[in-house]
Amino acid sequence: MAEQFYVNISKYLKYMENIKSSSPLTLKSYQIDLNQAYKNTELFNSTDWDSNLLKKITTQAMTQWSHLSLASRNRKIATLKSFMNWLYDEKILTKNLADQLVCPKVPKKIPHFISVDEVTSILKYYERADLQANEFNEKMIFLLIYGGGLRISEACQLRWSAIHFDQRSLRIKGKGQKERIVILPEFCIQNLRKFKSQQEQQEFVFGKQPLNPRTGYEWIRTAGVKAQLLNPLHPHALRHSYATHLLSSGANLRTLQTLLGHESLQATEKYTHLTIDTLARMMDSQHPLGKIKI
């Protein structure tokens, strides 16, 4: 019984890879979630999958995850729901247990971002004439993520063949293996040209193999430290900053959705809350009525 169940997990992961085009990182997360949920093989003595076995195992898994943040629990429960849907569609289950799984509501957070002045501080540091070799890498990954709104994984896997210098564009393969075109500012393109001229011929921008995202993450964190930013800097904060600064400058949500590679507009709408919050603070500090104490 247990062996067959793990065979089904393997088949489900193949389905998500080949049919749904899930990324390697997403597949790895699915595998971890399912292995955590269904690791108790003592419960596999039962053959009543519908009413007892899966309910019992799933309940134990959700109890095991109770200490996690709401967002983490949501992601793991979403994995279970997807797996249950697949079991039902494949007629392995006679009723869909996914309907009985409820994801906790996660309060919307305003994304962390840095100001234009902080961006300028980082660029000023990396405009020095005496940059070390590793600092060129730090500068380039900063320009790709902030200049093009790339995810850290997209920047780390970027190939030279995906860069069209004359058109100032990148061909990016993002989540779900979906391709999008990203246009870079001329400043970023100039730095990319210089970066390429200083390297030997290689397939990827950061080496012969894709850069480890942890290394890329550390380069961004280091850039924030060297520029003496008050708060720690991470890659997604740069992506949020890219989106926020474009929206504040007049870009519409549909354009931003395309540039960021979001599947739904809902994922992009969170930036409107941030912009409204910024405008509210500006009104309080600049408008005469905002300074009146009641």
Is 234 catalytic? The answer is no
Is 239 catalytic? The answer is yes
CA distance 33 to 66: 14
Is 236 catalytic? The answer is yes
Catalytic residue among 159, 221, 236, 270: 236
Catalytic residue among 239, 240, 242, 245: 239
Catalytic residue among 151, 240, 242, 245: 151
CB 76 within 8 A of CB 32: no
CB 122 within 8 A of CB 115: no
Catalytic residue among 171, 175, 221, 234: 175
Is 271 catalytic? The answer is yes
Q: Which residues are catalytic?
A: 151, 175, 236, 239, 262, 271
